[in-house]
Amino acid sequence: MYAGECMKQVRWGMIGCGDVTEVKSGPGFYKAENSTLVAVMRRNGALAADYARRHGVPRWHDDADAIIHATDIDAVYIATLTDSHCEYTLRCAAAGKPVYVEKPMAMTHSQCVAMIDACRGAGVPLWVGYYRRALPRFLKVRDLVESGAIGPVRIVITRLLQRPPAATSDGAVPWRVDPALSGGGFFFEAVCHTLDFLDFLFGPVETVRAFAANQARAYKPEDLVTASLRFASGVHASGAWCYGADVDEEHTEIVGARGRITFSTFRPAPIRLHRGDTVEEIAAGDPPHVHQPMIEAIVAELNGGSRAPSTGVTAARTAWVMEEILGEFRRAGQ
């Protein structure tokens, strides 16, 4: 828990106000109970000003220090590209500010460890934007597993097929497939959500066996990944992710001794509970601002409540799994 005094109204500052903050996260900071968004920052001041105007934020800045060192800001949300997550987290920790940082947590697992150490040393909490740990749809999946709806879990099978991105007229590469900005490619930037949720359900992964390749040659990072995982809890998992397919398709299946649960990580599709010849569909949509339940959990923690479910420690475990999966591919490319 944060070492400072309990705060009734948590006053947030936001570093970075790009696309992810328009609907998914930003409004949650001023719509959550006991939470307000005081200021936003973007290096392009005109864009920061525009965001502040449209969202009713009192002020904007083009310098991160104006957020980090502000006396009227209690906690900082870092919504920049992955390449600056570590730097901004270390600066916030040095200023004694609690940090909520977007996922992926950092470019490397070692950066994640440095972020954890800095926040721990400063006595401030560190949370990471794996917001599915607080979303009702995913909590329903957790409840089904924990209630024994499918019996003891045996294996998890997750699969994603995606068409490659259309070429731009100027040949520009999306930031998500520029390793210098994102830390990897589409797999690194997105599938961490699925792997983190599996960690939430089954605990840490202890063993990874994986292959990765770049088959379509549309960009530099991996576009095909297969992996097998063994959790310390005894659950096994296998995954296949292909970003050079002819269709967009994605689902995860949890196989138990007496049934199966299928769900989507990325679409608010119904959860399906399979038992014998029966299939029960459970409608479970997402709220308008998917970060808001996590923000509410963080605000509750800052006011003396229980720990929010996505911490630097849990997110670093996912970062380790990602590095284990991609390690051989990355070493071969060096």
Domains of the chain: 10-130+290-310 (3.40.50.720), 136-286 (3.30.360.10)
First to last CA, the chain: 41
Q: With contact defined as beta carbons under 8 Å apart, do 251 and 239 qualify?
A: no
pLDDT category at 1 given cuts 50, 70, 90 is very low
pLDDT category at 287 given cuts 50, 70, 90 is very high
Torsion of CA 199, 203, 209, 214, to 10 degrees: 10
Residue 4 clears pLDDT 50, i.e. is over it = no
Digit-coded pLDDT (tens) for 8-35: 899 999 999 999 999 999 999 999 999 9
Q: With contact defined as beta carbons under 8 Å apart, do 107 and 181 qualify?
A: no
What Cα–Cα distance (Å) separates residue 12 from each residue in 71, 76, 140?
Answer: 11, 6, 29
What Cα–Cα distance (Å) separates residue 303 from each residue in 7, 67, 307, 334?
Answer: 5, 21, 11, 47
Q: Give percent of the chain with pLDDT exceeding 90.
A: 89
pLDDT category at 175 given cuts 50, 70, 90 is confident
Distance CA 289, CA 21 (A): 9
Q: Give percent of the chain with pLDDT exceeding 70.
A: 96
Q: What is the mean pLDDT of the chain?
A: 95
Residue 3 clears pLDDT 80, i.e. is over it = no
Residue 244 clears pLDDT 60, i.e. is over it = yes
User: By mean pLDDT, which of 93-107, 124-138, 159-173, 289-303 is the weakest?
Assistant: 159-173
pLDDT category at 333 given cuts 50, 70, 90 is confident
